[in-house]
Amino acid sequence: MTLIFIAGGARSGKSRKGEELAISLAGLSKPIFIATAEAVDDEMKSRIEKHQHDRGTAFELIEEAKDLTKVLTQINPGATVLVDCLTLWLSNNMMGEEADTNQSVILAARARTGTTIFISNEVGEGIVPMHPVSRQFRDLSGIMNQEFARAADKVYFMKFGIAQELK
């Protein structure tokens, strides 16, 4: 069992790096892609379709916006898994009843025998948001990223499409 955490800003190459790692680690089997995005509007639907097109058939797709713990405990425990992305998962859970927590997801990933790769956005390097909900999201995101990075065996930070290995 290996946990890998990849974070970076928007369009930093996080997803591409995660996909490359997942494919290389999966060997002859197909890795599982757990997508947390929800098509809540036309622009998001278009983004999701582009990501799906870019991935092609290299992954088995599971769409789960909120309950990562459940999915991670139900899938093949030896499979290589890519979760993209924790930031959307956090946002989805903030907008409704929380299905699971950082620690329950980490424990579910740790219980697996295969590699689990988590993708997340770094949102704390910008300005302090003006709206209270935005500040709460930024704070919760920072705490989440710290918890996943601490639990991970390997941590990468993406900048300009270049992976910096931090751990």
* Residue 167 maps to a domain: no
Q: Tens digit of pLDDT for each residue in 72-97? A: 999 999 999 999 999 999 998 887 76
Distance CA 40, CA 57 (A): 24
pLDDT at 138: 92
Say whether 49 sits in a helix, a strand or coil. Answer: helix
* Residue 165 maps to a domain: no
* Residue 19 maps to a domain: yes
Catalytic residue among 16, 30, 51, 70: 51
* Residue 10 maps to a domain: yes
The CATH number of whichever domain residue 21 belongs to comes to 3.40.50.300
* Residue 75 maps to a domain: yes
* Residue 119 maps to a domain: yes
State pTM to two decimals: 0.93
Q: Before 85, cis peptide (omega within 30)?
A: yes
- For residues 40, 42, 43, 45, the Cα torsion angle rounded to the nearest 10 degrees is 70
* Residue 74 maps to a domain: yes
Residue 162 corresponds to which amino acid? I
Helix intervals (H) in the chain: 14-26, 42-55, 68-74, 86-94, 102-110, 132-151
Angle between helix 86-94 and helix 132-151 axes, rounded to 10 deg? 140
Say whether 8 sits in a helix, a strand or coil. Answer: strand
* Residue 50 maps to a domain: yes
User: In which domain, by residue range, is 86 found?
Assistant: 2-159
CA atoms in the 13 A half-sphere facing the CB of 70: 9
Tally of domains in the chain: 1
Q: Is 53 a catalytic residue?
A: no
Q: Tens digit of pLDDT for each residue in 118-137? A: 999 998 887 888 889 889 99
Distance separating the N- and C-terminal Cα atoms of the chain:
16
